[in-house]
Copies of this chain bind each other. A is one copy, B any other.
Amino acid sequence: MLSFTCDYNEGAHPAILERLLASNLEQVPGYGADPYTRSAKDRIRQALNRPEADVFFLTGGTQTNATVISAVLKGYEGAVAAQTGHIAVHEAGAVEFTGHKVLTLPQHQGKMDAAELEAFLEGFYAEPAYDHMVFPGLVYISFPTEYGTIYTKAELEALHAVCKRYKLPLYIDGARLGYGLMSPECDFTFQELAGLCDVFTIGGTKVGALCGEAVVFPGGNAPAHFFTTIKQHGALLAKGRLTGIQFDVLFTDNLYFKISRNAIDMAMQLKAMFRRKGYELFLDSPTNQQFVVLDDAAMAVLAPQVAFEIWEHRPDGRTVVRFATSWATTPEQLARLEAMLP
């Protein structure tokens, strides 16, 4: 059955599998000391034009968020996130497991507002008993957000400015980074991103890898002994070549961005298709996640033929569903979907 449930339904981009195959019997050292990992780090630094950047590879998103956040925070600090932020809701308390609270702010189509962040921080320090409370120690946002929306450059600059004023690192969870950067509405580059935050991730799992997230501290500002922290969190691969090779391939000839672009092209066609057919969109997402409102009749027709994610049940009886495209989505799949649409 055709599936648009998420952007990790398929395996890996074929070029990754090829390279895994080609290098398979080479003997290389473990724990990221192999030449592939070294090369992958260099390519990312080059793509960012930041030779000083610290780059690390971990395997999964929850793991990466918990490891980065707990390494950056001091014991008495928490992470500030939007109410719908992934770390606030869908990570089984992984951040709290490391001993830190997630402090939540309102969300606007998944985004945090710089003015609201500033008001929160001002209010925190204005509170007489603030030292009985969890200190905000880092600001977490994701790009794109849970709703597929993206921040503009001005919005990121505003958030980063507030963060700097309060000496808070800004952390961007880029589990779907490529899909955000390749959106037609994105008004900044990968290189500019590195200047708009203090640490960010480059998601592999949802963008063509079997597994793997790159963590980038663009100013060479990784916490001391971050390698050991990764090990302690159970996030260090013995065969570091597995993530090294994948990111090496993804950052060769811009593959990461090319395949991200495919997902966006497909998503824009999918959105246009739903609009043409008169469907209501839940919100106007500029990335690979598209949210469509279906009535019972449409649900009855589609559900048996194509897989998608139920997002929420509306009071009027209709259902918001999510269609996610990916690096692997093809025009043929869209044509099949279109043929099904009532």
Contacts and interface: CB of A to CB of B under 8 A. Distances in A.
B92 A228 contact: yes
B6 A25 contact: no
A28 B14 contact: no
Nearest to A89: B133
A242 interface: yes
Interface in A131-176: 131-135
Interface string A65-100: 111001100111010000000000111111011111
A211 interface: yes
B30 A8 contact: yes
- In the complex, the count of this chain's copies comes to 4
A39 interface: no
Interface string A13-34: 0100100110111111111000
Contacts of A6: 30
Interface string A97-136: 1111110000000000000000000000000110111110
A239 B63 contact: no
A236 interface: yes
Given A99-B99, A211-B238, A239-B210, A90 B21 contact: no
Contacts of A129: 90
Contacts of A235: 60, 63, 234
- Interface residues of A: mostly helix, strand, loop or mixed? loop
A23 B9 CA distance: 11
B134 A92 contact: yes
Nearest to A203: B238
A209 to B, nearest CB: 8
A237 B21 contact: no
B132 A231 contact: yes
A224 interface: yes
A132 to B, nearest CB: 5
A293 interface: no
Interface string A202-232: 0001100011000000000000110111011
Contacts of A61: 238
B239 A11 contact: yes
B28 A9 contact: yes
Interface centre among A1, A11, A70, A133 (most CB of B within 10 A): A11
A14 B61 CA distance: 28
Interface in A237-288: 237-239, 241-242
Interface of A: 1-3, 5-6, 8-12, 14, 17, 20-21, 23-31, 59-67, 70-71, 74-76, 78, 89-94, 96-102, 128-129, 131-135, 205-206, 210-211, 224-225, 227-229, 231-239, 241-242, 307, 310, 328
